[in-house]
Amino acid sequence: MIEAESIKPEKVLLTSPNLGHPLFLDIDSKFNQKEFEVNLLFVSNIKNTENFEKFIKHRLNFIPILEYKWKLKTYFEKEKEERLERKKKRSIWDKIKSIFSRKKKKEEELPPVLELIDSTGKKFDIVQAGKIETLRPQAFRGDLIKGTLLKIEPVKTCEIDNIKYDSYYSPRDYLIKYNIYSGLNEFYKATIHFKLSKEVLEFLESFTFVMFDLWQEMPNKEIRVSYHSIVVSKNKWSDFKFFHATDLHLAERNDRIYEIVKKWNVLVRKSDFGELLAQGAKAVSFFQRLLIKKPKPDDQIPIKSTEPLRKRFVNPNNNFRNFIKLVNKKVNKNDLDFVVLTGDLIDFAILSKIPREKRKNLDFNYKDSNWRIFKEILLNFPQEKRRGMVSGEEILCPIFTIPGNHDYRPFHYDLRWGNLYRKIGLLQSEVIALNEELMANPISSITKTFSALKAYLIEINSSLDYCIKLGNNNNFIFLNTGSDSFKKLMDFLSGHPSVTGISEKHIKYLENLIKSKVEPENNNYLMLHGPPINPKKSISALKRYAMSKQSEELLTKIDEFKESLIQKLGKKLSLARIDNKFDVQYGAVSTNWEKLLKFCLDFCILTLSGHTHELKEFRLSAPQDLKTKVVDTPTSPFSLEKLENPAEIYYDIYSELYNNPEDIENNAPFVVQTPALGLGSYKNPKSASAFREIVIKKGKLASFKVKYLKQYFK
């Protein structure tokens, strides 16, 4: 099998659905519907529809992704049944001979084969039945299912502000503008029929869903695979669960840091420490020194120099590998339906080991990018083994992805800038060890480019903004909040950048959704990378001075404004409002903020974001408690207003306060930030490996608590 980047001479490429934006198909629990028709989007340089049809006809297949332990159990059960059948069919003479035979066959201990082989040729060892449960989850590709081409139609590009925009079958202009597919610019929608096999139906008797890879056979007989692209699910979407994870910050260099620092520590013990520090200091340019801020006395990291490196080093790649293991355990118990990954999937695009001279001529290809690392970890492809790396597993759960600001960054940065090394648990002395091998250009490190997304758009997800509907009552809206914003340059340099935010096309897209898809009884979940709300931790000096004239008891820190604390003290609820006291747009979306917040207030029960690497949760209320949640009829115009004060904003850890659907519904909507899965905060590196578990029961949001991998991996 080959990946997309190695088939540029070919003329057809399947683009949607895909790994980061799979298509869900519903099936009833009695399997009355066993046949499906799906629409697939292709890009090509073939301009004639008939020629395109000839190219893909009989070349599209569906490969079900089963689970090896299930396959092994099924094999033993069928083998046992076959043994019983063979015994029944033995003649009387055979039975008499077996009684007098000196050698009795122990068929139960002698399986006819020693290994199972899936449809891709991967080999799986046969183990004793009693040891099956000790096996870790593994993907087992089932028998190939042939797809039948029904019809082809050309498709034009369509922007999200167009009422006809479809999340799966409307290619966006940026795919052509940035030449993402290297000269391929003709789009076609193909309708394909396929029928579930007996093997898949048996699998669905034990599991809630089954995923399929889409195989596209090329004229030279090579195969291009669109992994995990189709999902057939029994779920009626009244009771389900999903994980929200954000800020993975995956990179090839993450797996090298441990070895580099380990060697450095050995060198320090054998050399003059002061001389090494001096050499490291000389390698820092004047510009870099400006970015290396001195820690304040109350801002020291809680890391002891005596603590072993293996205990304090945070490898974001390992966090993601362990997260996948947890996901697979949940899936095998039918306790998880999908995963949402909201941005900063990678730390930067081009591998840091690529020489500086070669980087200038790279076309952001898949092979030389961290998007390859992201995909390899997801699918557990072979990677170069290094010290400190944990073992991986292929994720057995559908994922939905959107990019973050780091995903637009082409080149790596120096971990000393803004004391970023503290996020991965390194000491100030140890970070010098990274300088020689991971030196960063101070200018290119702060650049951004849409081209950094090229491999993501080809290999992971071609849709930057989309909406999916699961069941009759659940809308999941994914919006791309863009790259770093330089409107507040010092925020960027200090490690707290804002993001470009929501464009006018995004606002029109939301207005069209309100008119066409969003119903009053729907539960709408908005997925973003950049947060709509992010207050500074203390009130500005100017506001503090103004407030001191009005109140003798002056509160200045954000934690002093927790709504539950204000209520416990018996004070007025109005005192808990933070929007009129704090700068709530610090490192947040920088455009169309008011309209976005109005949408969150009026139409979303829960807005999920990341970016800050911290746990923050907010509750919205209409000013003066006047609710304005009104959905106009489809024929009526609707627009999101730009209001100076779109919502009252309150702060607390609401996911811990409210533990049942009734309380959540009565106090919604909520706008929350989930701590980073990959990297902790500056003050607390060990806060890494967080994610959020969202539970829906009987059609109502029942829980959205934050969990940590350390709860599951001791």
pLDDT tens-digit series, residues 596-638: 999 999 999 999 999 999 999 999 999 874 544 444 444 455 6
- What percentage of residues in the chain have a pLDDT greater than 70? 81
Answer for the pair 395, 340: CB distance below 8 angstroms, yes or no.
no
Give the mean model confidence (pLDDT) for residues 487-505. Answer: 74
Answer for the pair 390, 322: CB distance below 8 angstroms, yes or no.
yes
The mean of the pLDDT values for the chain is 85
Reference 639, options 679, 595, 671; nearest CA is 595
Give the mean model confidence (pLDDT) for residues 421-433. Answer: 82
Structure confidence by residue, pLDDT tens digits, 298-328: 444 455 566 888 888 999 999 999 999 999 9
State how far the Cα of 368 lies from the Cα of 384, in Å rounded to an integer: 14
**Is the pLDDT assigned to residue 222 strictly greater than 50?**
yes
β-bridge mates for residue 2, sequence order: 224
Query: Which of the four pLDDT bands, split at 50, 70 and 90, describes residue 355?
Result: confident
State how far the Cα of 624 lies from the Cα of 621, in Å rounded to an integer: 8
Reference 670, options 705, 712, 640; nearest CA is 705
Reference 107, options 138, 82, 73, 144; nearest CA is 82
In 234-352 the beta strands, taken as DSSP E runs, fall at 240-245, 338-342
Give the mean model confidence (pLDDT) for residues 544-554. Answer: 53
Structure confidence by residue, pLDDT tens digits, 358-416: 877 788 999 999 999 999 999 999 988 899 899 999 999 999 999 999 999 999 888 87
Structure confidence by residue, pLDDT tens digits, 224-262: 999 999 999 999 999 999 999 999 999 999 999 999 888
**Is the pLDDT assigned to residue 5 strictly greater than 70?**
no
C-alpha 317 chain-centroid distance: 13
Q: How far is CA 239 from CA 151, 206, 471, 564, in A?
A: 36, 17, 10, 29
Taking the CB of residue 579, how many other CB atoms lie within 10 A of it? 20
**Is the pLDDT assigned to residue 269 strictly greater than 70?**
no
pLDDT of residue 7: 42
Q: How far is CA 514 from CA 169, 349, 428, in A?
A: 20, 35, 51
Judge if pTM exceeds 0.85.
Answer: yes
C-alpha 625 chain-centroid distance: 35
Answer for the pair 339, 22: CB distance below 8 angstroms, yes or no.
no
3-state helix, strand, coil in the chain (%, to 5): 35, 20, 45
Q: How do beta strands 60-67 and 35-44 pair?
A: unpaired
State how far the Cα of 96 lies from the Cα of 107, in Å rounded to an integer: 18
Structure confidence by residue, pLDDT tens digits, 22-50: 999 999 988 999 999 999 999 999 999 99
Structure tokens at 172: 């966006």
